[in-house]
Structure 1
Amino acid sequence: MSSIALCPNDEAAMVRFLMDDNGDCLPPMQLNATSVNTEMFFDKAFNYNLMVTFISILQVLLLIQQRKHSNTQSGAVKVSSFTIGQQAVMDAYLCLLHLTAGITVEQLYNAFSTAAFFKFVIFSFCELRFFLHIWKANRPTNYIQSVEARRELSVLYIYFCGILLGGILITYEFPKFLPVITLVVHSYWIPQSATNVFRDPRKPLQPSYIIGMSVTRLVIPLYIFGCPRNFMHIKPDRSWCIYLVGFAGLQANILLLQHYLGCRFFIFLILMQMFPIKYNYHKRLDQDINRASDRVICMTAIDFTQHPDFCMVTPCEHVFHSHCLLKWMDIKMDCPTYRRRLPPV
């Protein structure tokens, strides 16, 4: 004898009673099945890919604007290579995830491959090139063409591939810690804040880049862990979403305050002794300085009777007009006379 009972919702439970050779009923066996609305699933997945494509285009525009701002050697030195490298790793992960999802679900291959392509463009053509530009700016010109520089670059690429592979293995072995791993990955502004404190540069990142990147990089994790009807059927965790937004917002606010109030605005006077002393370009001029030869920028005489801020003295004891040397340092961080490395202003 058998009987079938159907549930009123999408789920169906089938119960079948089996009989043995003696005619006795065996314990019932129950099967649960859930129906999936494929049309709604594909619509949600397509809308998700449109969202990813849109934010990817915004990120490309933000990176282009920031790259223009840091195009010179002095501008690139101000940016932390760890911040750009961590963002490149994030986009590389997203590229692999979307490409894998497109291969797994054939009907979504075109949509997911488009999102994977944009992420590939971001981390390969924008962020890795930006990372290489920062790496060159932090090293002497004659060192870049040497064999040691090529070996160092090879080691960096090996580290990059190793981090990608290690992150995939960790996520596969410990899927329960995915929210914690996501929080750690979204700490990409911390290296830039630390670089601002130690080097004390002038406005290394544009506010639009800080705000735009912080907002666009929160869209995907908030959709996955916050949307109750996401197409991946992941249970939402609103408390974790609040932690993520607060954590990312705190990092972005610190960078914005450093931009407007100074990179060391929150450091107390006692803790200031722990950091390197910033070089003072407006120190008192000594009589031993060779003042006659220090006009290689504008080729005009320097009036030493004016205010001390009118002139700037380099560590190699050369004097220049303040506005001339500042313009020079926006392009190159070398002394115009001796070509020695100059400290940040």
Structure 2
Amino acid sequence: MTFATIILQNKERSAELSVKMHGEFKTHRNHILLLGSLRDMFRKNKPPKERPRESQARFSPYSPCSISSYYQIRDALPQEAARAANGSMPASVGLYDSLDDGLAVDDAELNLLFLSGVMESENCGWRLQMNATSINMDRTISKVTNYCFMMVSIAILQLVCLVHQVRQVANPGVSLLSLGQQAMLDAYLCLLHLTAGIVAESMFSALATAAFCEFVVFSMFEMRYLIACSHSRLGSSVNWYEAQADIGTIYGRFYGLLLCGIILVYELKDHYWFLTFVFYSFWIPQIVRNAVHAHRRPLKPLFIVGMSVCRLILPLYFYGCPNNFMKVPYSPRMCFGLTLYVGGQVVLLLLQYYKGSRVFVPAVFLPEQYNYFRKVKELESLREEEGGLDCVICMEPVDIKSPSKRMVTPCNHFFHQECLERWLQVKRTCPTCRSPLPPIV
């Protein structure tokens, strides 16, 4: 056990510190670092300019302020090490490198030091009780490096999913809110990683790499696809000036909402669980748009599942890993609830893709729907009509006797199912006579 008496002399904003050790003191690098941290903390304290009137009689800014400190430094017990790893230990004095040369990284958590003690000043009239633990910086840097490698891998997987989706022609059925919300998540991650790298200089390289990958994802791919989907809603008759105005509107709204989101996070920082569920509701606008406007297949299943899995990895790491480097408390209920919430959105989107955009809406609330696979009775008369037997999209013959392989429009023109579905993703008119067509639900 180690006891110390610390005498702090305050004279005209100058601080002089002397430490008197009492009892047995075992020389250890961590002990010295802890004492050095306490010394630096006292040196930063400056005497107040003015004292309360009731204390002026017994305290003078020119008189010595004696601070007695009694504390114990020892190796942390297993339960204390677990509490420190989970972030539930009281506030620590500072960051200490507790790795000796030759110590394995896996055993670093067992080398934590625990400090408990009391500081008091009789002539100043205050008493401070403190509990603190050391933080293994080598172990923390290793965790941050592995975390950044994980984030770079996630960014690469997101790029693969985006490239697979962008190969499809920009669909007006894609929800701009859904894409914009996902781009905002990547923008926030870019800002957080870059800010953390600037603050922690020893980890700047790893964090800056993760920030750069997130910047590439949201600025070069997601924003471009967002603009392409917005242009597809304007139609083919849009001129250059209208297209540029649309781009300016998209960027203005995006960065405006990005700033509002930062303010919202600051105001609701104590309700982190609510913010997490709000930010991970990015598929809900797409589900609503599919049901309202009868868009059946605006997004590919690989894009839906891949992006959902990539975005779930980050919160599952922080809430599901007890030894995460940010010391976020372990919360299996949060992991289960968030996975179930995002998984439910994915299931609804896949049902809309395979079964119809309004599959979960009761038939009572649906308008009358046109059946593109209706039976045709008068085959002889249809054969005589121009364009009745050939698909004008691919210029291949259509087997009108097989209802499951062809689609017929209200104007009695036949097309292959795949050809007409792709056509209706871009235009809602008949390829043959340009008549308006009802949506495929």
Q: TM-score range by the shorter chain?
A: 0.7 to 0.9
1:118 aligns with 2:221: no
SS at match of 2:270: helix
Partner of 2:169 in structure 1? 72
1:280-309 Cα shifts (integer Å, max 9, x gaps)? 446779999x934777557799999x6788
Structure with max Cα Rg: 2
218-227 vs 184-193, greater mean Cα deviation: 218-227
User: Which amino acid is 2:227 matched to?
Assistant: L
Select the structure with the greater relative contact order (CA < 8 A; seq sep ≥ 6): 1
Mapped contact 1:98–1:115 kept (Cα < 8 A): yes
160, 171, 179: which one pairs with 1:61?
160
Separation in 2 of the partners of 1:173 and 1:208? 36
Alpha-carbon offset, residue 60 of structure 1: 0.8
Partner of 1:245 in structure 2? 339
Alpha-carbon offset, residue 11 of structure 1: 2.9
Structure 1 residues 99 and 278: CA distance shift in structure 2, 3 A: farther
346, 354, 358: which one pairs with 1:260?
354
Partner of 2:72 in structure 1? 6
1:69-124 Cα shifts (integer Å, max 9, x gaps)? xx225xx2343222211111111111111111111111111111111111111111
Separation in 2 of the partners of 1:238 and 1:214? 19
Separation in 1 of the partners of 2:122 and 2:397? 110
User: Which amino acid is 1:130 matched to?
Assistant: Y
93-102 vs 295-304, greater mean Cα deviation: 295-304
Alpha-carbon offset, residue 42 of structure 1: 0.6
Separation in 1 of the partners of 2:153 and 2:396? 52
Mapped contact 2:172–2:425 kept (Cα < 8 A): no
59-68 vs 321-330, greater mean Cα deviation: 321-330
115, 126, 133: which one pairs with 2:228?
133
171, 176, 193: which one pairs with 1:81?
176
Partner of 2:58 in structure 1? none
Structure 1 residues 201 and 26: CA distance shift in structure 2, 3 A: closer
Q: What RMSD in Å do the two structures reach over aligned CA positions?
A: 3.3
1:108 aligns with 2:174: no
Mapped contact 1:87–1:188 kept (Cα < 8 A): yes
Mapped contact 1:311–1:319 kept (Cα < 8 A): no
Q: What is the number of equivalent residue pairs in this alignment?
A: 331
Separation in 2 of the partners of 1:93 and 1:174? 16
Partner of 2:293 in structure 1? 199
Separation in 2 of the partners of 1:169 and 1:95? 17
TM-score (norm 1): 0.82
TM-score (norm 2): 0.65
SS at match of 2:116: strand
Separation in 1 of the partners of 2:301 and 2:351? 10
Q: Which consecutive residues of structure 2, in runs of 5 or more, have no partner in the other structure? A: 6-67, 77-112
209, 218, 224: which one pairs with 2:318?
224
SS at match of 1:167: helix
Q: Which has the higher helix share?
A: 1
Separation in 2 of the partners of 1:56 and 1:310? 39
Separation in 2 of the partners of 1:324 and 1:54? 35
Mapped contact 2:70–2:117 kept (Cα < 8 A): yes
Mapped contact 2:281–2:342 kept (Cα < 8 A): yes
SS at match of 2:71: coil
* Percentage of pairs with the same residue: 38
Partner of 2:191 in structure 1? 96
Separation in 2 of the partners of 1:303 and 1:167? 54
Structure 1 residues 172 and 307: CA distance shift in structure 2, 3 A: closer
Alpha-carbon offset, residue 173 of structure 1: 2.6
Partner of 1:142 in structure 2? 237
Partner of 2:144 in structure 1? 45
Q: Which has the higher strand share?
A: 2
